[in-house]
Structure 1
């Protein structure tokens, strides 16, 4: 398919730059200039990009508060033969941005959905983090409230995959402090700030080291952040996590030792026989 060709009755999911406007692809430029309508989060924000591209295609707002209502309208336009593009404020639509409801309705209507790939902040951060990328887990934004955030981190603490989070300027310090507490001060991390923009920075080191850098420099607390965190290391014999023993002690009261030991091993790693013997020793000492 040629770069300028768009098909009637088709929804195009178009990635746009996350900062540097030179990152827009030729295909994205062609599609945005060729479709009948562009759906975007904020028409005022997207209008600046369209002016840069010389694009005069009409814009319609589609965001988390009106997506369900507007999706039916858009599906109707697609059924009538219009070609439509979906963009977010920056990056690839649907990645921690609106669009799922619309795409789901378009798919259910049996209409084609076509990706126009480009920039994604999560992929950009992974590419420069210096951490394993063969397996990774994208969490997106953590909860804003401390209690919920810490609880979610505790659930992720033993994931062996590299973890990727989005974070905002007013929570970056608190989130890094919570990460030190829940993941450990020595866990490797990369904090990528303002990717592709004028004041882009990338900090690497342990969580404790990077937290101290961010705390010491107010400029490192501004902008948009992608936090790429090394996964939990597999425990070897004799390295069972102290939290695992605490859980084993709690489970001892509600289930048989073998079952409790198996559950702890599944949760934290380590050897079942170590946890089993620990539970037996606790019972014998009571």
Structure 2
């Protein structure tokens, strides 16, 4: 067990987690600028990008790179600097460090060494997209980027299918069309929002059903990093609706209600009944 009193004994080393703007530089906070000014060193995901940010605000700071490919080798050096009493500011290229960006491992290592972690609030693409999507915000699930390997991707889609809460994904413009097609195939007519270029000049929200967004994308190629916000699975009330249905009828009902493919419906029925997918597949195709 560990108790951290963040603002007592500030003479010791502190690792500040500093969010940076996700597009519009006006989203930097006064406090973030103060911490960047006072920090002994800025730990930057990309020193070139952070250098531009610091130059814009007329800050001259020593920077050390800390990113996905050197986070392990840098860790001991950074811990030593903190133990010596230095104040370090960890930033990513945009948004909150540690959220689909480097930071988690460094924070964990610092906590294990009883080093204070002070997190500043600030810009975050996922929360911004969620609020602007118009979808329920009372409960939600943030996933981040989907895996690239086909098998891992399928497992991720299966897990997301079980959620009855809004969920949020990140995606690159190069994969957005395929990802939206995959979502539409699996989850049918759920409401969703595709959000791109947040806080920038070309900020755009595309709201509608998943198939509607897929159709729109086929006619409007896009650029820029994207957030995808998707409505959760409709929660079934009272008695389980499929109790008296055969496996085939269960699959057909899902296809009808969700507007999805038989492949996606078979997966869902297997999850509903906690049966092997092959058993549901066999039952569905037996009468064809």
Answering whether residue 152 of structure 2 is matched by residue 151 of structure 1, we say no
User: Alignment partner of 1:92: what SS?
Assistant: coil
* Distance in 2, Cα, partners of 1:159 & 1:244: 24
Q: Match for 1:173 among 177, 180, 186?
A: 177
- Number of equivalences: 252
Question: Structure 2 matches for 1:32-111, cutoff 5 A?
Answer: 32-111=36-115
Please report the TM-score for the alignment, with normalisation by the length of structure 2. Answer: 0.80
Query: Following the alignment from structure 1 to structure 2, what is the Cα–Cα distance between the partners of residues 7 and 149?
Result: 46
Relative to the length of structure 1, the TM-score reads: 0.81
Give 5+ residue unaligned stretches, structure 2: 1-9, 252-267, 275-279
Runs of 4+ more than 6 Å apart: none
Q: How does 1:185-224 map to 2 (within 5 A)?
A: 186-218=189-221, 221-224=222-225
Spell out, residue by residue over 1:98-123, the C-alpha distance to the aligned partner (whole angstroms, 9 max, x if none): 11111111111111000111000011
Q: CA offset at residue 81 of structure 1?
A: 1.0
Instruction: Name the SS of the counterpart of 2:193 in structure 1.
Output: strand
1:68 is displaced (CA, Å) by: 1.2
TM-superposed deviation, 1:151: 3.4
Q: Aligned match of 2:272 in 260, 265, 268? A: 268
2:247 is aligned to 245
Q: Which residues of 2 match residues 129-148 of structure 1 at below 5 A?
A: 129-148=133-152
Match of 1:20 among 15, 18, 24: 24
Q: CA deviation at 1:224?
A: 0.4
Residue 238 to residue 77, structure 1, CA distance change in 2 (3 Å): closer
Question: Could you tell me how far 1:154 is from its partner in structure 2?
Answer: 2.3
Instruction: Please give the root-mean-square deviation of Cα atoms over the aligned residues, in Å.
Output: 3.0
Contact 1:86-1:93 within 8 A present in 2 as well: yes
Partner of 1:230: 231
